[in-house]
Amino acid sequence: MKNTLLAKVAKTSVWDIRQIEKFLKSAVLPARVSCITTNGYPYIMSLWFLYDAERLFCSVQRKTLISKWLQNNPLCGFEIAGDNAPYKGVRGRGVVSVTSAINNPVLPSLVDKYLGNRNSSLAFSLLSREETELTLNIKPTWMTSWDYSRRMVKPS
């Protein structure tokens, strides 16, 4: 299948763009998002994400340092992968835009995806801070994938 994304998929990726998008749309795992701090050091933060319209969307509070660092330098790295065997996932690089969640709300959809409903005290707490919520819109520029399922299958 032709790569319709603006993101380049690595030649060594085990999945094509269609398989990468299927994984990103169905994965209920946090994205590990990396950036460069104002001191020049790398920083990684795990964030809930949605994949839609060739973008990764995350939600953070305005006071978080990662939002400030990404506004200063919008280049980022990301990885979506589980911690248990068989190991598989997607990683990549991208460019982030940071916007007010009031203009681009994703937190309600993130709560639905990761908590299953909005009835818990955690959901209520998260959703009560919309005025200070920011949306991270990550436009991937390069992606790759790995899947060790076949070689990690337990013999029967």
For residue range 85-112, list pLDDT tens digits in order. 889 999 999 999 999 999 889 999 999 9
Cα separation of 132 and 143, whole Å?
Answer: 31
For residue range 52-79, list pLDDT tens digits in order. 989 999 999 999 999 999 999 999 999 9
What the chain holds in terms of domains, given with CATH numbers, is: 8-147 (2.30.110.10)
pTM: 0.90
Cα separation of 44 and 135, whole Å?
Answer: 17
